[in-house]
Structure formats: C-alpha cells, structure tokens
Amino acid sequence: MANTRPLRYGGVMNSGFPTPPPGVFDDEPPGWTNNAAAPSAASTHAVKPEPYSPPRMATPTAPAMSETLTQRKREMLKRCTDAAQQLGKPVLFGMTTSLILQSVPLPKDCDLNATELHTVSGSHRTRIRAVVPPTTPHIWKPLSAAHNARINKHVHALDLVHTWAQLAAHMSLESLVILGDATLTAIARKPSLSGGRTADEIYQDFVRQVSELPKFNAKATCMIALEFIAPRVDSPMESETRITTTQYGLPRAVTNYTVPGATFSNGAPITLDLAWPEFRVAIEYDGDHHRTDKAQWRRDNDKRELLRHHHWIVLIATAANMADEPSQAELAYRAGRQLALRGPIFDFTLTATPLNELARRKRRKSTGAH
C-alpha cells in the first residue's frame, strides 16, 4: 500500500475572515502566498503544488438524475410486474432491482448485472425463479427482520437497509459508502419511509439496524462503511467529493450545511454541499445542469456572491475534478490550503489513504494502540 508521510497543515488563523474580492471566490484569496498570511514553516512542511491546469471539459449534458431514476424505475417496474404475473403471485425483488424500484442511484462498480431481475427469499426452499422474463434468485437469511416496500400488488422491494447490506459483497468499500449516503437520502425523501424522523435520526436508526443484523457475508465491510456514510447528501458525486477530502486527511465536513443568516431573495435558506462552518470554507459540487440551465447558473452566482460577503471561501468541484486521482488530489490540496489559512491543524497526505486503512487507524487510536 502506498503511504506518504503526512504534512501537518494549519495553525494560523486569519482574524476577521477578510472578504475575498470578486474573481477569486472559488479559489484562494489574494495574498495566500504572502509569507505573512501563509502557514509558517513551523506549522507546515511547504510542498509546492503542481502547476495549475484548467479542468478538462465535462462529458455532454446528461439527463437530470431524478429524470433518469424515474424512467429507470418505470421500465423496471413493468418487467417485474410481468415476471410476477407469469408466476401468478407477488414477488419480492432485492439487490440492484430493489434499488431501481425505490429510485436509488446504482453503484458504479457493482459486479451484478443491473438489467437482470433479482429476486430474494429467506431460504433455498422458498427461492423464486421465473422463466419469462428470467429472474436471478438470491437468498437473504435476515429477511424476516426486513420491512419490505410494496410497489404494487404484484411487486415488492426489499427494505432499503437490507438491500444495502445485501449488496455489500458486490462492490468496493468506497461505492458502499456512496450507496449508504444515497440510501439515507432516499429514505428521508419518502414520507412513508422516513416516518417523520429527521435526517440524523434516520442515520442513527440505519447504523443501529445494520449493527443488529445477524452475521452475513460482508457484515464486517458494512461496519467499516458505517463510519463514513453521512445524511443529507444530494448526489453520488457529492459523496465522492466528500470521500476524497477524507482520504487526503482533511477534517470531516458537514454535509448540506444551512448557512445561518443567509437566504435567497425569496427567503429560501442557502445551503452548502460540504462545509467546514467554523472556518467558513466549503466545496460545492456542480453537475452539468449548473452550467447549462440559465436559471440555475444565475442562482449559483447570486448565492456565491452573497456567501462571499459573509466571508465564505467556496471551491467549485465538477466531474473533471473527480475524473482521476491527480484531479482529486488537486481539489483536496486546494481545499486543504484554504482550511490551513483559517486555523485548523490536520495531517494532509499526498496520496489518498484507503477508507479501510483510515478506519483501522481510527480504531487503533481509540484503543490507545501503537
């Protein structure tokens, strides 16, 4: 495993949080290279960054995620209904089929074929298999504890908490964290699932339910992932951005942070995708619609101008920043630099640390092991 000596960043507080002038709002305030403003040699080992290169052009405009999820659900529901009618009884679907039926974004590195219809049962004796259309049966022994969702009278979907756990053996740890974020958001957005709970309460219940599940394949992986998932995340790319900052040693960010005293002209609160509120540093992830939708573009400009006057530094991340490891490292470096200028001390690393290694270090630290 690649490892680098962490660089101790921070320790210098800019008093008063001076307002950055226009033109540098999504980057560094002027003077950050000034010796008086930059972290001293005593508080950080200076590393000269690679020369800045403009982000690569994003891919052509894609449909909004909500539109894609809705269309995918509609198509999948028809296929599932056909399968259930062919069997002559209601059918419970799990794995990626359950995600699609409940409008949850699919993980990008899952080793299951998401076009297949995945059924689920509690034992081999009761497993479900249709011929036309064909289905792929799976056994999920903790099924009796699941609170499954009725999609229509023919089609049921496995409880999202159980679906997340069931899929853990079929993707990377990073993707499992991203899927955990998306699952929490899907539960929070559906009144029948949220039951009036706050986002934090949903998260706490999610952790408890997974922890209480009897032993299953990849439960250990799930327990690691639980340390990194977060509520109030609007998209998988926001999750990926947050994971990147974590892997490079930045302090844990607050997700979907509501800025006190800052509202749009219509009174709507202003939120930030990732924020370090104490230091007024944030990252906003902009999908293609932020660039192609004029109303959204104007709204973003108004929002960021107002935040600038509230002394916030806001960095903008796009798909180009997540395209590969060097691009992710550059984004993490820029965010870390802004944080270091405003006081926090943290160990920045030049390469991303795997999440399982971060979890291992956290456990060793909590037990006092060396």
Same domain, yes or no: 355 and 305: yes
Give the domain-ending residue among 191, 225, 259: 225
Q: Are 236 and 183 in contact (CB under 8 A)?
A: no
Model confidence pLDDT, tens digit, residues 92-140? 999 999 999 999 999 999 999 999 999 999 998 888 877 777 899 999 9
Same-domain check for residues 181 and 143: yes
Q: Which pLDDT does position 128 carry in this prediction?
A: 83
φ/ψ (deg, to 5) at 77: -60, -40
- In this structure, is residue 89 part of a structural domain? yes
Q: Which domain holds residue 258?
A: 7-17+234-367
Is 272 contained in some domain?
yes
Residue 8 pLDDT class (50, 70, 90 cuts): low
Domains contained in the chain, number:
2
Which residue is associated with the tokens 């798909």?
A: 319
Does residue 52 lie in a domain region? no
**Three-state DSSP string of 155-203:** EEECCHHHHHHHHHHHCCHHHHHHHHHHHHHHHHHCHHHHCCCCHHHHH
Q: What is the pTM of this model?
A: 0.82
333: domain CATH number is: 3.40.960
Residue 168 pLDDT = 98
Residues 219 and 273 in one domain: no
Confidence of residue 252 (pLDDT cuts 50, 70, 90): very high
Q: Are residues 307 and 280 both part of a single domain?
A: yes
Cβ 94 vs Cβ 138: under 8 Å: yes
178 and 195, same structural domain? yes
Dihedral, CA of residue 148, residue 153, residue 154 and residue 155, to nearest 10: -30
CA distance 248 to 333: 8
Phi, psi of 232, deg, nearest 5: 60, 45
Q: Is the residue at 1 inside a domain? A: no
- Condensed to tens digits (0 to 9), the pLDDT of residues 275-318 reads 999 999 999 999 865 566 677 788 888 899 999 999 999 999 99
Last residue of a domain, one of 225, 254, 287: 225
Indicate whether 198 and 282 sit together in one domain: no
In a domain, 117, yes or no: yes
Residue 24 in any domain: the answer is no
Q: Which carries the bigger pLDDT value, residue 297 or residue 202?
A: 202
Cβ pair 234, 201 in contact under 8 A: no
> Can you say how many angstroms the Cα of residue 95 is from the centroid of all Cα atoms in its chain?
19
Same domain, 198 and 339: no
Q: Using 50, 70 and 90 to split pLDDT, how confident is the model at 66?
A: low
Amino acid at 103: S
- In degrees, rounded to 5, the angle at the alpha carbon of residue 72 between the alpha carbons of residues 293 and 89 is 155
**Residue 70 shares a structural domain with residue 216:** yes
29-63 pLDDT tens trace = 333 333 333 333 233 333 333 333 333 323 333 44
Name the amino acid, one letter, at 340: A
- Let me know whether 218 and 307 are in one domain: no
Q: Residue 226: left if φ>0, alpha if ψ -120 to 50, beta else—which one?
A: alpha
Q: Which of 319, 261, 259, 313 is nearest to 288 (CA)?
A: 319
Residues 182 and 262 in one domain: no
Residues 144 and 203 in one domain: yes
In a domain, 32, yes or no: no
Last residue of a domain, one of 225, 250, 283: 225
Examine the domain organization and report whether 246 and 206 are in the same domain: no
Q: Is residue 45 part of a domain?
A: no
Q: Mean pLDDT lowest for which of 308-312, 330-334, 353-357?
A: 308-312
Spatial CA neighbour of 128 closest among 107, 102, 154, 105: 154
